[in-house]
Structure 1
Amino acid sequence: MEIIPINYQLTFEPDLKKFTFSGSEIISADCKKSNNTIILDCAELKITSCIVKSQGKIVKSSPKTNEKKEELQIKLSQKIKGKITIDLEFQGILNDRLLGFYRSQYVQNGKTKYLATTQFEAADARRAFPCWDEPEAKATFDISIIADNKFTAISNMPIKSKKKIGAKTIYHFSKTPIVSTYLIYLGVGEFEYLTGRVGKIQIRVITTKGNKSKGKFSLDLGKKLLTSYEKYFGIKYPLPKLDLIAVPDFAAGAMENWGAITFRETILLYDPKTSSTKTKQFIAEVISHEIAHQWFGNLVTMKWWNDLWLNESFATFMATKFVDKFYPEWDLWNQFVEDAMNVAMGLDSLKTTHPIDVKVNSPAEIREIFDAISYDKGGCILRMLEHYVGEPNFQKGLKKYLSDFKYQNAKGQDLWDAIGKASKMPVSSMVNTWLKQPGFPLVEINQDGNTLKLEQKRYLLEPDKKFNKGLWSIPLSLGLESEISKKLFTKKSMSIKLPKNTLGFVANYGRKGFFRVKYDEGILLDLKMLVDEKRIPAIDRWAIQNDLFSLCVSGDEQVRNYLDFSDAYFEEDSYLASVNVAHNLASLYFRAFDEPFAEEIRGYAVNYFRKILFNLGWDPKKSDKHTDALLRGFTISVLGKMNDDVVTEEALRRYKKFLKSPSSISPDLIESICSIAAWNGNAKTHSELTKLYKNAKTMEEKLRFLGALCSFKDKKLLVKSLDFSQTSQVRSQNMQLPIMKVAANPYGDKVLWVWLKKNWKRINKKVGHGNPLFNRIVASIASVADDSMEKEIKTFFKKNPTPGTERTQSQTLERIRINSKFLRRMRKEFKDG
């Protein structure tokens, strides 16, 4: 960088009636090379005054903004060098696109209210003030906010002083430590808060009026996490306060602004009476994720966005680790494997995936990599690395990295070097095989007596010679009831001798490695027996059938083999294996929905689900495990959609009762029961659910009814629900939800694509360009299309460009081809059988 910022002195005055703001700033900077142009990042701002001083003298300057390049160019009458100040005044818009400095609308006691808040990651601080808007340009910030007297103002640091001037109050905040622009926060609104302390640190949960009572769970957890992270990292939390702020309109889930973390309301507010078990768990995970960022990301920041994955996957990995410490009964690592690993492998077995460490040039490209590769695959690789070097070495390396780079920027390589030094192991060469190339390996194992022959190759769901390259350093671990052997598998093939009298084994023991395994027939037969007798750990029981199912999708295995193997899970008692076998059987049935062989698959699925429901019962019990609540709702709703008479009858009975007495159903079952009512319902049911949606008090409750509204069989009613999602009744941040739910409904394929084409321009306007939710909407097309529509879909996106979704578009087309081929193979297999 030719000019290095040192300090920004910023003042903002938002106007929540006109939805504009005015601002002024004085930037002190150091000009390293003599030049006569200053270029800053700047978007959607009107510059009203510009004064540049060099060596204390004013230099004549003429500012010009370039909207397309998002920059402000200041031409100077002479060359400058050394210490300079840039004094700017500007005006901007409080937009409703959920990025930059934006407005959020909510209703309180029947009155419409507004608040102003910010979302600057990745590159939207430039919409609030001209700056060098990249992670490496760290500086200190002195922020002031002028607001109407009825409002409170919030920023990263505590209020240093405030003063009333007529109808307004001016807030001055303490100076920040050095920090990147994407972590700056500004908030103005009618807030209330719960306050707690951890040592000298003030910690608050901040909400719109009337909601603070739902912040208790989050406040208590926030306090515990702050202390635990300080201990683990060996570095004190660097700021005097931490605010957790609930924002009514928010595009992401949460954002780790330093000292002022923002959240969607549904991810911070917990009401034991109306919230579900799933919500409680999700709140805990996200708070933990964002607090981990206060060190990893905020104190030490990536040099450039290509290392974004490290920020995110690290926070995902740590979040799981710490919530698991407080709630071991939640079985969180197993859930991590079911959710994060499944989602990551699903995306990473496409040709159109990308390496974790991906080149990023422009801000628009950054938005595209906030995906399952950056969060979930990255988290799995860290879990694999920690297992490979051992937990103490992992922590030791991490502490060294954080203390070496605090208040600075670092590259991923710096972390691998630190962990490599701590463990004296080849960390860098091992880990880089997982970061620099796309995809992951399939390890094929053939047994000959006591010798295992192993081969590795890239695993793809749509096999393709052009994409077969790849060689990984695989930490390979074999085990049965415990680990028997551990090797680093770095070549195309190798042989391993098993210890004498080995009764059987699992490869990738504990599923620590990010790879799939294909066993020969003999080994699979042994494994089926070992699963049935529960002689191997639950996570490995999960993994064997998880790999087997995936091999059916890629055409390496027969579906009937999977169905046959699933018999071994009939008496399964672990959440992990049960839920995944259930998911896989359900997905086979819904794929075969209109086919003559659907009945045969339904037989397996219904049997399996009935057994689970028989064990769980309909009503929550005191003795329930945490995961029982997650499994029960899923089981009931799938049986309802497989038209199981007993379940349907019971669900409809409970629904009728629920309409009269809303507290008669546990929050964990409301969406399932309402969905079954919709599945069997008509226009009257539709208006009942719409009314429930409109009258629901919390956003969490609203979303349950919105989900249920997408479960009708009647196409007209599904279109009605989709149209409803376009009205002002549904916030743009939730727009993707009805689309994804209709896509998952087997009757949705008749209506969704037609509806999307018709409403694309409206959706585009409502969700807003560059909104990360757009990728979810594009991805949902994969569930409702087949490969005969490939050309039509391509043409549609050519005519309706949606920047920031190009990668998702090609992934979606690939998924459509994979699904279509899989269905054709199933037809052949069941016809011949």
Structure 2
Amino acid sequence: MFIKSLLTLSVAVAVTSAHANEFVLEKLAKPSSQQVSLTLDPAQESFNGMTKITLEVLRPTNYIELNGVAYATQMAKLLGAENCDLSTEMLKTGKVKFSCDEQIQPGKYTLKVDFTAPYNRQSVGLYKTLDQGVPYLFTQFEMSDARRAFPVFDEPSYKIPFQLTITAPSSQKVYANTPELKTTINGDMTTHFFDKTPPIPSYLVAMAVGPFEEREVKGMPIPGRVITPQGKIHLGEYAEQAIPKVLAALESYFGIPYVYKKLDSVAVPEFPFGAMENAGLVTYREDILLLDLATATRNKKQRNVSIIAHELAHQWYGNLVTMKWWNDLWLNEAFASWMAAKITAQLNPEFESHLDLPQNNVMALDARLSTKPIRKPIKTEADIMDGLGLAYSKGSSVLAMVENWIGEKAFQQGIRAYLKEFSYKNAEAADLWQALGKASNKDVAAVLKSFIEQSSFPLIKVTQQGKTISINQSRFTNAGVDAPAQLWNVPVAIKYGAGDKVKTANVLLTKANQTVELEFEAEWIYPDQGALGYYRWVMDDQQFAALIDNAAQSLTVRERLALLSAADALLDAGVISAAHLMQTLEAFVSDKHPRVANTALGYLAAQKRTFEDESNQDLWPEFIRKSIMPAAKQYGLTAKVDEDAAIAQLRTQVVTRLGFDGEDKSVINTAKAQARVYLNNPEKVDPYLASTYLNLAAFHGDKNLLNAYINTFKTTKDPQVRTKMLAAMSYFATPELQTKVLNYSLTDDVTASDMRTIMSGQMYTKAREALFISWVYENYDKVAANLPPFFVPNLPYFTTSGCSASSLAKTQSFFMSKIADEPGYARTLSKLEESVNNCISLKERELDSVNSFLKR
């Protein structure tokens, strides 16, 4: 799975405790295969079905448990040596108790259940959505939503063959995980019989019903199609070309052929995540899978390839070999993210995806005391979703660090051995650690456990005395935070140089303090060669100044990007002042690589979001304008023929900052004009600047412009245009128009998945933020009902304003009363309190420093 925008006990203990809780099925029966027959008509609001589960009752019992949510059982029978009519009780824990008046003896049985259920309308389970007014049916079963569609043992350890039979109107196309074996027609209904799947967990079962279009994907060892809603198939060309290349690269890396009988890729107009790795029927948000090549930017193409690679990597890691329990979902997603980065860089080096540093996106979150390890006990879906994004980025970064430490060849050998041993089975993290350790003859488990089963990360302090380097590790914390002491096993790579000489010293740091002897006395030191370490580093002011002086000529682009992130983190830790950080960032705004300049500008803008208040609000526009002038002068504000995409991406940052933060009238007027052009013909607007122009125009727009955005949103068949309209609507500034947009988000035009996009821009400016927060409070019931269920616990983040203690208090008061209905709020409020208090502390500590810097 890919999220658009996942653990500290041993596995045995985690699984035992999980299986002792009320949300986990009692081990009374074990399935061996399941048949599911459904009658599905997208024009209706509900469906009916029948399932037959071949199972073994493990011990004498009067009942067995399956999972179930929202369906109604019409008939339930247990057929075997003795038959029993079962009564059913649907529990609040996502389970259904099937009870027999007589004791059921151990042995083999068939459980037969007839049932009815509504189509879900919140993007989970078997759900219905409308596209251009036409109904479609899709599924999203991960994490635990197969139970909404049919009775099932809905836990990953129950890995069995499924066989689907779907009856639908003959006008509809029907897809499932496997090839269609035959069809039969009865009046205006057609029954589709699908082949049996290999053993898969229930969360990988998938289907789609609707009047789809399709195009064949050629060049694969198995058949495959790109499948889209009506009128969009022409946008599938780029994916069609990418999929065979990605599949071949993965088969080559793993040394195991793709094991499923087909590979279909479905563009889904309403989808709560980025994509889902269903075996043989992979689903994607349509704005990821479908591209108009006339307007596609490099980052959109990169996203297309990397997410395809992520989902196809899962066909081996996750599908062929599956976790035993959800406490290892982090590894599923971390591995797929790591693999996707490798494949994307291999197939499309022009994307410069090696410059993406996922660790920089999550280390600030990971440093908080309220953040849990990414491998942790799991009981509920809320536990799974807690820190899910952290698992992708931290997990993949740690895997990359370990691969760099043990070597690519040993890492690949370990992965291949692991996949071969556990094919079609379930495994746990320790199984992979063992395979990697055996392949490398290194204690991989000690390194990985220290990062995965602990939250946070080490702060590496480097001290130089001649040729001797002292390395000290401690837990990274924000300034003033008292955290328990921790130690890691850290592969540290120290790059150093003098004159023309550059070397690297590698050490596995296993203690609080160690020393390293360099080959020569270094003039400068960079404590993270290759920017592959999942740690922060610090050195004295003289060493840091020497590093900055040598960065342009001696550090790679990736290392310079990591240096900026490290400096930003040191502000949080209280090691450097805000003024010192901003001076450092200014030094990189004119970096020879536009990606570095772009990043430096981004960090400067982040300081405005943190420190802007009445004492300095008049100083920021001029500071932002001055900061971006070097890039604006060097590259200009309009695109040039055949320029590097990194320059175009930098220009987006420049124009955004000029328009929103610098309040540049010329840029704003250009945005207004270009937005009108885009509404008539998107191909005539710079694709890199289109979203910025649309957002700026909206912020300064009127009722007529909003109506034009809504009309385009409702009528376009281009998913990219649709998403841009949705995001831009969130920037309309007058109270009247902002309220109109917010109320529109509660209408049937806006899906549960789309609603989050409309919420994204509402926090820009204090006045708009205040109106939005009040609107959420006033419309809470409707807002919560319209969002995907797993997203609802995030609502407190949207009602808390920056560093405001009073806003936090109001959020706490409002949501504390709702914890009984939504337990996930308790976890969110705890994290939010720490985040706001850290922000308040930082602002109090550094505001004078920022103001003196701005007044230079």
TM category (shorter chain) comes to over 0.9
The match for 2:294 is 273
C-alpha contact (below 8 Å) 1:135/1:301 kept by paired residues = yes
Q: Is the 8 A contact 1:59 1:78 kept in 2?
A: no
**Residue matched to 1:288:** 309
Corresponding residue for residue 94 of structure 1? 119
The aligned residue for residue 165 of structure 1 is 186
Cα distance in 1 between the residues matched to 2:87 and 2:620? 72
Greater shift after overlay, 163-172 or 622-631? 622-631
Compared CA separation, residues 556 and 717, structure 1 to 2 (3 A)? farther
Find 2:386's aligned residue among 352, 359, 368: 368
SS at match of 1:83: strand
Cα shift at 1:454 = 2.5
Q: Give secondary structure in 2 for the equivalent of 1:444.
A: strand
Could you tell me how far apart the structure 2 residues matched to 1:322 and 1:207 are? 25
From the superposition, tell whether residues 597 and 675 of structure 1 become closer, same or farther in structure 2 (CA, over 3 Å): same
Equivalent of 2:401, from 362, 381, 384? 384
Q: 1:102 to 1:688 in 2, by over 3 A?
A: closer
Q: Is the 8 A contact 2:121 2:128 kept in 1?
A: yes
User: Partner of 2:518 in structure 1?
Assistant: 498
Counterpart of 1:798 (choices 813, 816, 837) is: 816
Shift of 1:600: 5.3
Q: CA deviation at 1:536?
A: 1.5
Deviates more, 1:589-598 or 1:404-413: 589-598
CA distance in 2, matches of 1:395, 1:662: 44
Matches for 1:638-717 after TM superposition, within 5 Å: 638-641=657-660, 642-655=662-675, 658=678, 662-717=682-737
- AA matched with 1:703: T
The answer to whether residue 489 in structure 2 is matched with residue 473 in structure 1 is: yes
Q: Distance in 2 between matches of 1:566 and 1:432?
A: 35
Partner in structure 2 of residue 583 of structure 1 = 602
Please report how far the alpha carbon of residue 490 of structure 1 lies from its aligned counterpart in structure 2 after TM superposition. 1.3
Structure 2 residue 202 is the aligned partner of structure 1 residue 181: yes
Offset from partner CA, 1:214-251 (integer Å, 9 cap, x none): 11111111111111111111111111101101122111
Distance 1:716 1:408 in 2: 57
Q: Check conservation: 2:801, 2:808, Cα contact below 8 A.
A: no
**Residues 691, 12 of structure 1: alpha-carbon distance in 2 compared, 3 angstrom cutoff:** closer
Shift of 1:821: 2.1
Q: CA deviation at 1:268?
A: 1.0
Q: 1 CA distance for matches of 2:800 and 2:639? A: 35
Match of 2:447 in 1: 430
- Determine the C-alpha separation between the residues in 1 that align with 2:373 and 2:395: 10
Deviations 1:373-405 (A, max 9, x none): 211111111111111111000000000000000
1:633 to 642, 646, 652: 652
Superposed displacement of residue 122, structure 1: 1.2
- Matching residue within 107, 117, 128 for 1:82: 107
Task: Show CA shifts across 1:467-507 (max 9, x none).
Answer: 23211111111114754200011111223333324221100
Letter matched to residue 102 of structure 1:
Y
Q: How far, CA to CA, are the matches of 1:632 and 1:797 in structure 2?
A: 41
The structure whose RCO (Cα within 8 Å, separation 6+) is larger is 2
Q: Is the contact between residue 510 and residue 540 of structure 1 (CA under 8 Å) also seen in structure 2?
A: yes
In structure 2, relative to structure 1, the CA distance for the partners of 1:3 and 1:656 (3 Å cut) is closer
Question: SS at 1:226's partner residue?
Answer: helix
Q: Secondary structure at the match of 2:724?
A: helix
Q: Distance in 2 between matches of 1:414 and 1:184?
A: 25
1:418 to 435, 449, 454: 435
Contact 2:251–2:258 at 8 Å: present in 1 too?
Answer: yes
In structure 2, the partner of 1:204 is 225
Q: Is the 8 A contact 1:711 1:745 kept in 2?
A: no
1:445 matched residue in structure 2:
462
How far, CA to CA, are the matches of 1:76 and 1:142 in structure 2? Answer: 30
**For residues 659 and 407 of structure 1, do their structure 2 counterparts lie closer, same or farther at Cα, with a shift above 3 Å needed?**
closer
CA distances 1:46-103 after superposition (whole Å, capped 9, x unpaired): 2112221223x42454444334553132325233222211122111111212111111
Aligned equivalents of 2:638 and 2:843: distance in 1? Answer: 37
- 1:551 aligns with 570
Q: What corresponds to 1:24 in structure 2?
A: 50
* Structure 1 residues 777 and 570: alpha-carbon distance in aligned structure 2, compared to 1, 3 A threshold: same
TM-score by length of 2: 0.91
Q: Deviations over 1:603-629 (max 9, x none)?
A: 553233222233333333343223333
Aligned counterparts of 2:787 and 2:334: Cα–Cα separation in 1: 26
SS at match of 2:362: helix
Matched residue, 1:525: 545
What is aligned with 1:809? 829
* Aligned match of 1:779: 797
* Residue 210 of structure 2 is aligned to residue 193 of structure 1: no
61-70 or 315-324: which moved more? Answer: 61-70
State how far apart, in whole Å, the 2-side matches of 1:345 and 1:84 are. Answer: 51
Corresponding residue number in structure 2 for 1:6: 32
1:615 is matched with which residue? 634
Give the secondary-structure state (helix, strand or coil) at the position aligned to 2:761: helix
> What's the counterpart of residue 40 of structure 1?
66
Q: TM-score, normalised by structure 1?
A: 0.94
Distance 1:423 1:804, change over 3 A: same
User: Deviation at 1:295?
Assistant: 0.6
Identity score, percent: 27
Structure 1: 5+ residue runs without aligned partners? none
Deviation per CA, 1:86-133, whole angstroms, max 9, x where unpaired? Answer: 1221111112121111111121xxxx2212221111111111121211
Equivalent residue letter for 2:580 = N
Q: Partner of 2:319: helix, strand, or coil?
A: coil
**CA 653–41 in structure 1, closer or farther in 2 if over 3 Å, else same:** closer
- 2:287, 2:723 within 8 Å by CA — same for their partners in 1? no
Does the CA-based 8 Å contact 1:477-1:484 persist in structure 2? yes
Could you say which residue in structure 2 is the equivalent of 1:822? Answer: 842
Could you tell me which of 450, 454, 459 is aligned with 2:476? 459
Counterpart in the other structure of 2:23: none
Match of 2:330 in 1: 309
Contact 1:24–1:88 (CA under 8 A) maintained in structure 2: yes
2:375 paired with 1:357: yes
* 1:690, distance to aligned residue in structure 2 (A): 4.1
Root mean square deviation, CA, Å: 2.3
* Matches of 1:81 and 1:662, distance apart in 2: 66
- The letter for the 1-side match of 2:600 is V
Asked whether the equivalents of residues 462 and 537 of structure 2 are also in contact (C-alpha less than 8 Å), the reply is yes
Question: Where does structure 2 lack aligned partners over 5 or more consecutive residues?
Answer: 1-26
Instruction: Tell me, yes or no, if the aligned pair for 2:800 and 2:808 is still in contact at 8 Å.
Output: no
Task: Give the SS at the match of 1:321.
Answer: helix
1:203-222 aligned at under 5 Å gives the runs 203-222=224-243
Alpha-carbon separation, structure 2, partners of 1:580 and 1:783: 25
> Do 1:300 and 1:408's aligned partners in 2 also have CA atoms closer than 8 Å?
yes
What's the secondary structure of 1:555's corresponding residue? coil
In 2, are the aligned partners of 1:146 and 1:168 still within 8 Å (CA)? yes
> How far apart, in 2, do the equivalents of 1:276 and 1:746 lie?
32
- Tell me the equivalent position of 1:726: 746
Q: Measured at CA, do residues 656 and 12 of structure 1 come closer, stay the same or move farther in structure 2, by a change above 3 Å?
A: closer
Letter matched to residue 343 of structure 1: N
> 1:139 & 1:261 partners in 2: Cα distance?
19
**1:3-61 per-position Cα deviation (integer Å, ceiling 9, x unaligned):** 22111121111233331111112111123333332221122222112221223x42454
Query: Which range moved further: 696-705 or 371-380?
Result: 696-705
CA drift of 1:186 comes to 2.0
Q: CA deviation at 1:551?
A: 1.8
CA contact (8 A) 1:740 1:780 kept: no
The answer to whether the Cα contact below 8 Å between 2:28 and 2:65 also exists between their aligned partners in 1 is no
Q: Please, which moves more after superposition, 711-720 or 35-44?
A: 711-720
